[in-house]
Structures are given as structure tokens and as C-alpha cells.
Amino acid sequence: MDWQFANLTKICLDHRSRQQHQCKKSLLQRIYKRGSCTFIIFLYIISAICPVRSVTFNDTNQDFRPKKMKLIRAHLARINKPSVKTIQACSCDMPYSSVYFSPDGDIIDCVPSHKQPAFDHPKLKGQKPLDPPQRLRGRKTRVYEENFQMWSMSNEFCPQGTIPLRRTRAKDVARAANVQTFGKKIRPVVRDTSSNGHEHAVGYVSGDEYYGAKASINVWAPVVSNQYEFSLSQMWVIAGSFGDDLNTIEAGWQVSPELYGDNYPRFFTYWTSDAYQATGCYNLLCSGFVQTNNKIAIGAAISPTSSYNGGQFDISLLVWKDPKHGNWWLEFGNGVLVGYWPSFLFTHLRDHATMVQFGGEIVNSESSSSHTSTQMGSGHFAGEGFGKASYFRNLQVVDWDNNLMPLSNLRVLADHPNCYDIQGGINKVYLGACKCGDPTMYEAYWKKAGQRCSVTMSGFQSLSYFGDAKTLCWFMEKKLEDEIRKLHKVAGNAVVDARHIVVGTGSSQLILAGLYALA
């Protein structure tokens, strides 16, 4: 059974074998000399031509000397805040199955919104988060929320008036080079050079005034070879030169063993007003981003993720400038406001952005004679196409009149094309359901493979089948769940529990019946 995705505007990041060479032109020079390209980008893997040395991640090499521990404790006291409720990973029983939620082991503290780290800033002392701004023109006011993070799958959330703050622990800070650099880019990022260890493959627009950007970003779990490297897919809203005055607002997903202590893809934000030098940080690890949402934890693990030749999952993000107060707001999915970056954090971005980028970034910590094995995106060739290469889709920018506009002159650029590449175009994409019939009939296969498969219908719902030694279940969105609750008595012994999950014999027939009823 196939469903058609018609005329999707996409980006996919790709990998191609090329002869190894050094990039001698600056990124800026090549950005402004490239011609236009079409609107689909497939983001890429590491080229097989690059000499690779893989390093195993070891989290045990941490320095807990008394002097450093004193600094770490003082830092933790600044960024962790008193909570009214704490949510931890738990093992939860349900009919016919035992499901373990939040395997990332995160601890989520529900912190009063006016006591979050942002309000340590002198300009925000004693204040409270602002009310939601006026929506963009043409955007629906109806908000549809969905669970996409591991910690929230237990259906435990923070109460109104609080925000979920991922607790930082001593071992997290100890992995950083020092306390001062924790929560910041691993090293200063100068975007117009190819010699600083950061490698990018991006699609971009420039030459106009931009007041925001929107994209749906395909989520994968790329392999990161050691704790000093990361891999991410994100969008950048940029102003200023690529010198010391660079202003950026960034959002997407990231795998960073150093920052989080694992290899899960995690929802993240970042900002800087001085080219990653003294200002800015990830997530809520400094006084910057003001969170207003009580159900999304910035820095928490994303679930599900995409699988090769199987289910595809993406997250939709929108950043735009509120014309009334000048703050830059972040929206997730279908109208869910996450929070905002106050305008006073920036210099150039107090007015508007001059460039928007969509793409991938990795850190290569190896010497010039070898190259990291860290993957970008899915870790597969872009030429392999949808379901195999990572993508961005539905790319848009916000104009001066608060309208979302399609991109008119998207260009693509890889600053290390010998290892990571990017490809653009417009395409029709066809996505099929699992080719395994009833997944419950193939339990042994799924247990062995440890894989998942899913169906995604554009603008409708997505559902994913997971198989492991203990669990056979489908994760659903609200509309589908409501329909299946009406049907479940007529299909095997499948049941639906409070966590939007259907399990048991006949589950796939039940899912397909629900889809048919909604079609």
C-alpha cells in the first residue's frame, strides 16, 4: 500500500565519491559565486575516499579532581533550578506488554517559568515570559500537540506555569574541556574557513531581508565516532559578517556524546552574537532563550527516528521575528510555541537576517592525514533517494510583512565536498507501508533485526511499528487513535492504551482499518 507525497519542497544531504582535495576558497567566496539550484536537498555521508580512523567513545575518562568538582558544583547551582515536580525514566506496565519509556535516562525538572536560567539575565530579572505574539499571516491558530520525545511517552508532563528543564549532572559538565566551555560550541566556529574541524553541507538563500525560516527536518541517529565530535541537522538564521560580529539563531536535532553523554538525536537550540566566542549556548544552559512551553524539553531525546529503507520521521520548526517586540520566536510542529530569543541578545538580528541556511554540520577532530568516520544525516548516499538519504522539506522564509514565502533562489554548498555533499531538486516522493504484511506475523524477524517500520501520510498522521524482545506496538497520533478505539473490538485481541499505543495480535489489520476509515 503506497501513499503519494506530491510536490514536496525538500532538501536531502548526500554523499558522493570524489577525489580528495583541500578546499582553498573561503566558504563566503564560494557562497556568493555559486549559481542557483532547485529546491530539494539530500544531505550525505562521509565519502569512502576519505582516509578514516574510527575512535570508540569512552565516557569514563572524566576528571573529578576536588578543585574541578568545586567549579562544577557551582556551575550546576547556576543552571539547574528548584523544581515543583521531577520526571524520571521509568518502567511502565501495560496490557499484553511491558514497555520501557525514556531509555535516555534523562531527569526532567518542572521549573517555574519565571525562574528558568534566562531570567538570571540582568535585563530579565524580576520579569515573566511574554504572552504569545501574533501569528504569521495565513498560519492556523489551532494547535496540535504530539509526543516526540522519550521522556514524555509516559504521559507525564510539567504543570502549567512551569517549563521542563533537562537536569544537568556533574558527569555532563566533566566531559567538557572545562566548565567555561560547557554548553557551547566545541571550539570557535569561523564559517569562512575549512581548517577549524567543523564541516558543513548546506542549502542557503541570501541577498534579501529575512524575518524567519521554516523547515521539516528528517531525523536520524548518525554514528559519531568519539565524544569530541557531533553531528547535527538544523537551520541557521544569520546576520552580520562571518567575522567576530556573526549573529545566529539555530534549531534542529543533534547527536553529541560530549554534551549529552549518549548517541541519541536530541532537539536543540543555539544562539550567538559574536561568532561563538563569549556569547550564546545550547538550549537553556545560559541566560538566553526564554521557554514558554510546558511539554517540550529542549535537549531531550527524539523518538522515533528514521530507519534505512523503512519509516521516515521529521520535525517541523519555524523561527520568526515578532514585529511588535522584536523577539525571535520558535514554533514546533503544528503551531506549538516553544519560546523566544529576546532581541537584546543580538546586534544585527535586532533588525533582520541576511541569510538563512538549512543543512548538516559535523566536527572532525582527526589530523589532516586522516578523517573522522562520524556520519552526517543518515550515513548513506544521497543518490539512494528518499528513505535512505536524509532530507529537509517544505523550506520557506518569512518576509517583511510576516508572510511565509517559498524559496526563490536556493543554492547548495558543501565546504568539504570530498567527504560530505549536498544535492538539490524538486521531486515527487512515494512512501510505502511496511512490506511485511501483518508485523505480528514476523515477530521473530523484527526481534532479530531490531528494526522499525512506519507509514507517514502528508499532513495527516504517522505511525511506527517497533519490535524488540518485549514489545510489539504501534505509536499513533490522536485522530487515528480515536478511530481505532471505535474499531478495536472487531480485530483480534489488539488493544489501545492511554499512551496512544495499540498492541497484540491483529494490530496491523486494526491500524489499516483505522486508516481506511479516516481516508
Catalytic residue set: 250, 361
Distance CA 177, CA 173 (A): 9
Cell of 494: 489488539
CA distance 383 to 508: 32
d(Cα 281, Cα 514) in Å, to the nearest integer? 44
Q: Say if strands 495-496 and 501-503 run parallel, antiparallel, or are unpaired.
A: antiparallel
Cα dihedral sign, 164-157-304-479: negative
Helix/strand number for the chain, H first, E second: 7, 28
| Residue 109: other Cβ atoms inside 10 A | 21
Lookup result for grid cell 520558535: 330
In sequence order, the 6+-apart residues with CB closer than 8 A to the CB of 203 are 11, 37, 41, 357, 358, 359, 392, 395, 410, 411, 412, 413, 422, 424
As a whole number of angstroms, the distance between CA 267 and CA 234 comes to 10
CB 326 within 8 Å of CB 352: no
DSSP tag of 156:
-
Helix (H), strand (E) at residue 488: none
511 alpha carbon, distance to own chain's centre: 28
Query: Cα 151 from chain centroid?
Result: 15
On whether the CB atoms of residues 412 and 14 are closer than 8 A, the answer is no
d(CA 330, CA 322): 10
**Cβ–Cβ under 8 Å, residues 464 and 501:** no
For residue 175, give Cα distances in angstroms to 172, 257, 286, 289: 6, 9, 18, 23
Amino acid code (one letter) for 130: L
To 5 degrees, how large is the angle CA 480–CA 482–CA 483? 65
What's the distance, CA 499 to chain centroid? 23
In this structure, the chain runs to a length of: 519
Q: What angle (nearest 5°) sits at the alpha carbon of residue 189, between those of residues 184 and 194? A: 150
Cα dist from 340 to 131, 319, 328, 457, 503, whole Å:
11, 9, 5, 30, 39
Residues 6+ positions from 452 with CB-CB distance below 8 Å? 304, 307, 310, 311, 464, 465, 466, 467
User: Who's near 29: CB < 8 A, 6+ residues apart?
Assistant: 192
Label the pairing between strands 290-291 and 426-432. Answer: unpaired
Among residues 433, 469, 434, which one has the least CA distance to residue 450?
Answer: 469
